[in-house]
Structure 1
Amino acid sequence: MNFALILFVLVILTGIAWVADKLVFQPQRRRAADAAVAEFDRQQQRVGERFADENAPQTRARIRDEKLRQPWWLEYTASFFPVILVVFVVRSFIVEPFKIPSGSMVPTLLVGDFILVNKFDYGLRLPITNTKVTRGRPLERGDVVVFRYPKDESVDYIKRVIGLPGDVIAYQDKKLTINGKPVPETSLPDYFDEERIGYAKQFEEDLNGRKNAVLNNPAVPPFVVGADDYPFRDNCQYNSEGVICKVPPGSYFMMGDNRDNSADSRYWGFVPDQNIVGRAFFIWMNFSNLKRIGSFN
């Protein structure tokens, strides 16, 4: 959010300089260039052909170029306006890059993955305020979403949408149930978690036909330790087997795919719709593993 504000301020400042240059300073430079070239031509007429500049066309062009050249402060403001404007528009309304900082979404996303986030799929939002101005499509269970962390909105988080408004989400004994229906899961080969230097149980979950891999660590107990106080906490019941929550209107229940190594809605609550940034859809770079480049579920 701070970067968006900085970029917005740069757009305003460079835009003012660009407009001032087009309307005021550039016409002044053109008049000065025309006057300088006219003075040069008068001097050439006064000295006559014998002493005239043999390279008059080149000299005339050099004089014009010197007079038309932008001063340094305009060169470093107005000249950058189109570039900064394009970056601002693309980043705010089309696609924004992020870097995965933690292992909460392993095995789907790894630390060091650089991802792209679709900014218009769920509706266009104004930069800085994040106010939605178009409807877009609704979030779906299974979407991987970047959002502003509810407890500190200057921080961006990435998790998977598990619960929609009105859903009852139960994560009991490490089994996920949505509205009373167990989410189908299929065992996969154990996954070696490089961050924890150990193996974790791996499963493929099926969220309404959308399949993705998740990890469970048998050594970690199923109950939630250290849940925060958060809005609508009364919607959740914590017990020795985990948590059961009813998602309030206008909010979502998010979980990481690395279920026993993810600080998510089980710990800090629901994500309001106004905190949604966009849908993650593509890994565009991982410098330690180029094979990671591509789309993901």
Structure 2
Amino acid sequence: MIGLQEVSHRHDEQVRAAGGRQVPKGAPILELRGLQKNYGAVEALKPATMTFLSGEIHAIVGENGAGKSTLIKLLTGVIARSAGEIRWCGETVDLATPNEAIARGINAVHQEVVLCPHLSVAANMFLGDEMNRRGLMRKRAMTGAAQGVLDDLGFNLPANAELGSLTIGQQQLVATARAAMRATQFLIFDEPTAYLTRQESAQLFRLIRRLQGEGVTIVYISHRLEEVFELADRVSVLRDGTHVGTRAISETNEAELITLMINRTIEQIYHKERFEPGEMIVETRGLSG
């Protein structure tokens, strides 16, 4: 049975045909120079300059409304930038449409599953890239290939099941498998463990490390700082639509990241007045239920 590497091989060919180029590990693969997005007078993303390195796991953290979703949409071609420059593999690119981003090897796994619940797992994994022969869809071949990929990734999921019959967490793993088949160079995860069990999260982390080992650049967006410190090589912080800093994981800690995210220290957040307990106000004896 074929696995992820065999299925994704033809996507490598598509990426090269679209102008995608390999860059050495550790070299800049995606550079943002003054990237900005305005909605009228509202600055959803203020001029941001960031660099993502080939083969790294780069986390992005920030409070709700910090600009993380806007950044994802800009990088995946969902919305157009208001100003700034995007450089991909050393060349200035538009990233004006999702198709352009995908063709260059940029893909995303979103927090909300955006697949088709009435189709099978296999059909969703090959959606838009179906196997055909003489105008007929090769459903059996796609199911076999999809099952091979799922098994190879360690996801215990049936490729012939209807997607809507799976849990939200399982559907998220299907979306991840679909992206892994296509995102040969740059893969964005947006709060990927929000609906996953502990076991499913462990499977996802193994896949992320495997993809990194194969040279894929990972962007990992999460509110869970323990996951950031477990996975990432570097972390960037957004606050109120502004990029306020990038740190190597080995050179920072949770307290510093929290301070950067909210512009206050932990002591300022959790400060409590000391007080002496007063008289008893509630007492229970022999309570049961």
Structure richer in strand, relative to its length: 1
- The interval holding the TM-score normalised by the smaller chain is under 0.3
- Which structure's CA Rg is the greater one? 1
Q: TM-score if structure 1 supplies the norm length?
A: 0.20
Q: TM-score if structure 2 supplies the norm length?
A: 0.20
